[in-house]
Amino acid sequence: MNRIILHIDLDSFFASAEEVRRPDIRGKVVVVCVYSGRTPDSGAVSTANYKAREYGIRAGVPIKIAKEKARGLDAVFLPVDKQYYQEVSNRIMDLIEEQGDRIQQASIDEAYLDVSTKADESWITAKKLAEKIKKKILDQEGLTCSIGIGPNKFVAKMASDFRKPDGLTLVRPEYVKEFLKDIPVIKLHGIGPKTASALEEMGIERAGQLASVDQAVLEEKFGANKAKLLFEKALGVDDSPVERQEKKQLGRMGTLQEDTRDPDRVMEKIKELALDLRERIKEKKVRFRTVSVIFVSTRLEDHSRSATIPETDDLEPALDATRKLVESFLSENPDMVIRRCGIRVSNLEYGGGQMTLEDF
Ligand code: TTP
Ligand code: MG
C-alpha cells in the first residue's frame, strides 16, 4: 500500500511562542538564548525568529556575536522558558492527535502523522488535512508551521523543510527523485557533517549526484551498509514506520465564547471539552491519576492547575476535582480574565501494551 505521511514542524518555535505571549515584541528581531551564566553574554542562541535570521542570527550562534549582528536593530534577547514552550507543545500535539492518532512526536516542535488510511490514500485529502492542521494551530495558538507530505517519513521531513516558514509541500512518489535531486547532501536528514564533507571531497554535493554515483565507489569509501543508506537518502527511500507512542498526556483546549472570570462559564467549556476527551480515553483504554485544568488569560498568560486523584478511567469524578481547581485558581488570581481553557489527564496507565517513555 502506498503510504501518505505528514511531517509538521513549527516555525522558529521558541521565538514565535514568545511573540505570541508578548505582543509588544511582535515584528522585532527576537532571539531566544541559553545563557550559560559565566558572563552576562556567555551562551548561545537557542533559536531566533525569521526576521533575526535575515541578519545571520540563528540557533547555535554565540550570544555575543548575535548581539553584534543585532546592533542598531530593534532586537529583543530573551532567556529560554522551556516549561512554557513545553506547555504550548503539549497543546499542539493534542491538537494534531485529534486529527489522527497515528502520530509520532519527533521533538518538542515536530511530529509525523501517518494518514494513509485516514486520507483514503488520496493525496488531495492529505493536503486538505494539512491545511486544516495549519489553520487550527494558527487559530488556536497563533503559530505557523510548515508541513511536508510524502510517501515516507524521510521525504515528508525534507518536504516540510523545503519551504519555511508557513510552507506546505507535497511530494508524490513519482516526484521524489526530482524533488531531492538539487538538495545539498548536507541538508539530507540523517547525513551528518562529516559524511557530507567526505562526499563533497569526492565531488558529490547534491542528492542527484549521490544517487547516480557508482555503487562500488561509495562502498569502498563508506562500507556496504553506509553506502546503502546513502543511496536510500539520495533516492528518498525509507520504510521506517510512524511509531505511535503512548502519549504521556491527553487533553483538549478550547476558546470561551466570551472572555470571563465566571467559574460556571469555564466549567461549561471544560465539560464540553471533556466529552471529546472521554472518547479518546475510551479509545486508548487508558487510566489516569492526574487531572489538570489549563488557562490562557486575555493577556495570553499561560497557567495550569493539577490534582492527583485515585486512578480511574472515568472523567466524571475528575470533573469535580477540576471544578475546585477552577474556583481556587480564579480566586488566587483576582485580576485574571480567561480567554481559553482546557482539560488534560496525565500520569497515564495504558491498559494494553507497554508504555514507551519518550523524554522530549
Ligand atoms: P527547530 O524546529 O530545529 O527550529 P525552529 O522551530 O526554531 O525553526 P524552524 O522554523 O527552522 O523549524 O527546533 C525547535 C526548537 O528547538 C527551537 O525553536 C529551539 C530549540 N532548539 C535549540 O534550543 N537549539 C538548537 O540548536 C535547535 C536547532 C533548536
Ligand atoms: Mg521548528
Among protein residues, the one whose CA lies closest to atom 26 of ligand 1: 59
**C-alpha to C-alpha distance for 345 and 321, rounded to whole angstroms:** 12
Ligand 2 centre distance from Cα of residue 12 (Å): 5
Ligand 2 centre distance from Cα of residue 59 (Å): 11
**C-alpha to C-alpha distance for 88 and 15, rounded to whole angstroms:** 12
pLDDT for 120 equals 58
Ligand 1 centre distance from Cα of residue 14 (Å): 7
Ligand 1 pocket member 9 (CB < 6 A): yes
Question: Looking at the chain, how many residues does it have?
Answer: 360
From 46, 47, 168, give the residue whose CB has the most ligand 1 atoms within 8 Å, as the site to mutate. 47
Tens digit of each residue's pLDDT, the chain (360 residues): 689 999 999 999 999 999 999 999 999 999 999 998 889 999 999 999 999 999 999 999 999 999 999 999 999 999 999 999 999 999 999 999 888 778 999 999 999 999 987 555 689 999 999 999 999 999 999 999 999 999 999 999 999 999 999 999 999 999 999 999 999 999 999 999 999 999 999 999 999 999 999 999 999 999 999 999 999 999 999 999 999 877 888 999 999 999 999 999 999 999 999 999 999 899 888 999 999 999 999 988 889 999 999 999 999 989 999 999 999 999 999 999 999 999 999 999 987 544 444 433
Ligand 1 pocket member 297 (CB < 6 A): no
Ligand 1 pocket member 302 (CB < 6 A): no
Looking at ligand 1, which atom is closest to the CA of residue 110? 2
Nearest ligand to residue 32 Cα: 1
Cβ-Cβ contacts under 8 Å for 278 (sequence gap 6 or more): 315
Ligand 1 centre distance from Cα of residue 343 (Å): 28
Place of cell 488535512: 129
**C-alpha to C-alpha distance for 216 and 220, rounded to whole angstroms:** 6
Ligand 1 pocket member 111 (CB < 6 A): no
Looking at ligand 1, which atom is closest to the CA of residue 107? 14
Ligand 1 pocket member 112 (CB < 6 A): no
Ligand 1 pocket member 13 (CB < 6 A): yes
Ligand 1 pocket member 164 (CB < 6 A): yes
Question: DSSP of 261-286, one letter per residue?
Answer: --HHHHHHHHHHHHHHHHHHHHHHTE
Ligand 1 pocket member 49 (CB < 6 A): no
pLDDT for 121 equals 60
Secondary structure element (H or E) that encloses residue 136, with its range: helix 123-141
Nearest ligand to residue 80 Cα: 1
Ligand 2 centre distance from Cα of residue 301 (Å): 22
pLDDT for 98 equals 85
**C-alpha to C-alpha distance for 131 and 6, rounded to whole angstroms:** 11
Looking at ligand 1, which atom is closest to the CA of residue 15? 18
Looking at ligand 1, which atom is closest to the CA of residue 46? 23
Ligand 1 pocket member 109 (CB < 6 A): yes
Place of cell 523524554: 359
The catalytic site residues sit at 110
Ligand 2 centre distance from Cα of residue 101 (Å): 21
Question: DSSP of 59-105, one letter per residue?
Answer: TT-BHHHHHHHTTTS-EEEEE--HHHHHHHHHHHHHHHHHT-S-EEE
From 18, 57, 107, 109, give the residue whose CB has the most ligand 1 atoms within 8 Å, as the site to mutate. 109
**C-alpha to C-alpha distance for 106 and 32, rounded to whole angstroms:** 21
